[in-house]
Amino acid sequence: MASSVRADESGGQASAYLEWGVGARPVAMGGAYSAVADGPTGFWWNPGGLSQVRQPTIEAAMRTMSFDRQAGYGVLAYPFSREEAALALSWIYAGVGDLFEYNLDGVRGDQISDYANAVAFSFARRFTDEHNPLALSLGLNVRYVQHNIAGIDAFSVGFDLGTHVRYRLRGRYVDVEGDNPPEVMFGLSVQRINQKFPWTTSDYWVPRGEGGASFEESFPFLVRGGTAARFMQGRGLVAFDLSVDEKQGAEWHVGAEGQPHPLVAIRAGLDNGDPTFGGGLRPKINKRWELIFDYAFAIQPDAIDAEHIFSVGARF
């Protein structure tokens, strides 16, 4: 339970520690990112959007939260095949420190481990010509997940499927000239397909005089869908998402991003009614290398402290 950001809502689920939201930019936009998904962290929100990655990009973050929780990720996204496809390799970590056993008399025992790792291979491909104003992409995540609690390990392999559609408005639709005409985007992903944990607790309970048990814990399906629009020569972005969890129900997300300068971005959103905001910097080292610095401020439901999230990366 403690490894979930939304501890009041998803703490009892097998996937709780994967609910924290990958990337400071998407979090600052309220989680409205399935129709955007144009950076390396798009693998988490909608793998179909990864086909938009046009430069090799790395990104990473470490996040410290209330209740002694820590989480982090690292991702490498790489485009290939004449700008039609991209792949990504990613790792997510989440854990809790300072957990201890207590018996029925309240006597403290050994320290308990509680951490999880998720490693994913992601692939996306665009199925329309680059000169076509309509870009249709499909994507896939293959995710290996491991969770250790009190020395008990569980492992699982599951899948995510995603689709991304981008339509650039040209010609008779709008009178716009330039390299960045307005565009509308749509995204849809189905996540945690066939994901479940087979638990066996005998290793923990037998030394303590109990028999233990074996059981399966299924990950709830998650469906994300949304729409977004980019305008003002690519300097303005608005997005709306709806996510439906098999056990939690529906949540809505809305976000916006503006670029007052090509190297600076400001962002704000509502994550199911909770405010978020942040910003980003994209300083260029030379014609090829570009650094990525993103920040997000988020207030999670019933959290003791607001969260300050930083991520760093580079395009090359």
pLDDT at 41 exceeding the cut of 90: yes
Q: Residue 22 carries which DSSP code?
A: S
pLDDT band of 173, cuts 50, 70, 90: very low
Instruction: Let me know: does 14 contact 29? Beta carbons within 8 Å.
Output: no
Element (H, E) at 44: helix 42-45
On whether residue 51 sits in a domain, the answer given is yes
pLDDT of residue 153: 87
**Boundaries of domain holding 121:** 7-315
pLDDT band of 180, cuts 50, 70, 90: confident
On whether residue 144 sits in a domain, the answer given is yes
How many CB atoms are located within 10 Å of the residue 209 CB? Answer: 6
Q: Write the CATH number for 17.
A: 2.40.160.40
Q: What percent of the chain has pLDDT over 70?
A: 87
pLDDT digits (tens, 9 = 90+) for 221-249: 899 999 999 999 889 999 999 999 888 88
pLDDT at 190 exceeding the cut of 80: yes
On whether residue 1 sits in a domain, the answer given is no
pLDDT band of 14, cuts 50, 70, 90: low
Q: pTM of the entire structure?
A: 0.85
Number of domain units in the chain: 1
Three-point CA angle 134, 223, 259, nearest 5°: 55
Three-point CA angle 213, 217, 223, nearest 5°: 180
On whether residue 172 sits in a domain, the answer given is yes
On whether residue 2 sits in a domain, the answer given is no
pLDDT of residue 7: 39
End-to-end CA distance of the chain: 39
pLDDT band of 108, cuts 50, 70, 90: confident
On whether residue 182 sits in a domain, the answer given is yes
Q: Could you give the C-alpha distances from 20 to 2, 32, 65, 152, 210, in angstroms and in order?
A: 12, 14, 10, 23, 35
On whether residue 268 sits in a domain, the answer given is yes
On whether residue 111 sits in a domain, the answer given is yes
Mean pLDDT of 191-210: 84
Concatenating the DSSP letter of every residue in 106-152 gives --EEEEE-EEEEEEEEEEEEE-S-TTSSEEEEEEEEEEEEEEEETTE
